A and B are shown apart, each in its own frame.
Chain A
Amino acid sequence: DGGITQSPKYLFRKEGQNVTLSCEQNLNHDAMYWYRQDPGQGLRLIYYSQIVNDFQKGDIAEGYSVSREKKESFPLTVTSAQKNPTAFYLCASSAWTPSSGENEQFFGPGTRLTVL
């Protein structure tokens, strides 16, 4: 089955610790995205990557870092610099390229991060 997987589903972290959230896709998509969602709010873009070894900051990148060493993988690190990290984190991918223009994004099941 093609799809996007995220792990873990639930994550608890102590203040001051860095944590890395996993995102893997086997859809052969070039573009991948990380969002955070807070209760009653819309999705906000953290980072995105249109191609391997390249990524761009989204609207709320402060306190986060990413890497894109493989097409299938786009891990997100929540650093201790992120002041309010408790949220629902969603990874997505799309078949977008400058020529295809296909914008539809497909989401993984999400990771719910709680800072204790």
Chain B
Amino acid sequence: RKEVEQDPGPFNVPEGATVAFNCTYSNSASQSFFWYRQDCRKEPKLLMSVYSSGNEDGRFTAQLNRASQYISLLIRDSKLSDSATYLCVVNQVGTDKLIFGTGTRLQVFP
């Protein structure tokens, strides 16, 4: 089993739609969780950290379910500019290293 698993997609949604991505992780002791966004042929950029209580940043909401070991990202009112690959990232327990999922590709169409 991979340490971090994501549905690769692609998710094709119209502008204005709400879309949700899930990610599962294998190590129950993981403490740090992030969503990164990666545009085509560019570097990953931190979108948001994921906190135990859940957190929201504008149209983006991240949630953590420790019991089921999954993280979610909800995007409301999708924009064309949201088209990108979204990487689920979890820390390797006891280290500073991060484990990256392979990403979920989102394509928003007009």
A-side residues, CB < 8 A to B, are 31, 33, 35, 40-43, 45, 48, 50, 58, 88, 90, 94, 96, 101, 103-110, 112
Please give the distance in Å from B39's CB to the nearest CB on chain A: 11
What residues of chain A lie closer than 8 Å to B41, measured between beta carbons? Answer: 88, 112
A96–B96 touching, CB < 8 Å: yes
**From DSSP, what is the main secondary structure of chain A's interface residues?**
strand
Which partner residue on chain B sits nearest A40 by CB separation?
A: B102
Determine if B107 is an interface residue (Cβ-Cβ < 8 Å): no
Residues of B within 8 A of A58 (CB): 97
Q: Does B96 lie within 8 Å of A104, measured CB to CB?
A: no
CB < 8 Å: which of B42, B44, B96, B103 contacts A31?
B96
Q: Which residues of A contact B97 (CB under 8 A)?
A: 33, 45, 48, 58
B100 CB-CB contact with A under 8 Å: yes
On chain A, the residues within 8 Å of B34 by CB distance are: 103-104
Asked if A108 contacts B43 (CB within 8 A), the reply is: yes
> Could you tell me if B98 and A105 are in contact, using CB atoms closer than 8 angstroms?
yes
> Is B49 an interface residue, CB under 8 A from the partner?
yes
Residues in B lying within 8 Å of A, measured CB to CB: 4, 8, 32, 34, 41-46, 49, 87, 91, 96-98, 100-103
Q: Tell me, in angstroms, the Cα distance from A112 to B40 when the chains sit together.
A: 13
Given known pairs A31-B96, A42-B101, the reply for A103 and B91 (CB within 8 Å) is yes
27 A-B pairs, CB-CB below 8 angstroms?
A35-B100, A42-B100, A42-B101, A42-B102, A42-B103, A43-B44, A43-B87, A43-B100, A58-B97, A88-B41, A90-B43, A90-B44, A96-B96, A101-B32, A103-B34, A104-B34, A104-B49, A105-B46, A105-B98, A106-B46, A107-B43, A107-B45, A108-B43, A109-B42, A110-B42, A110-B43, A112-B41
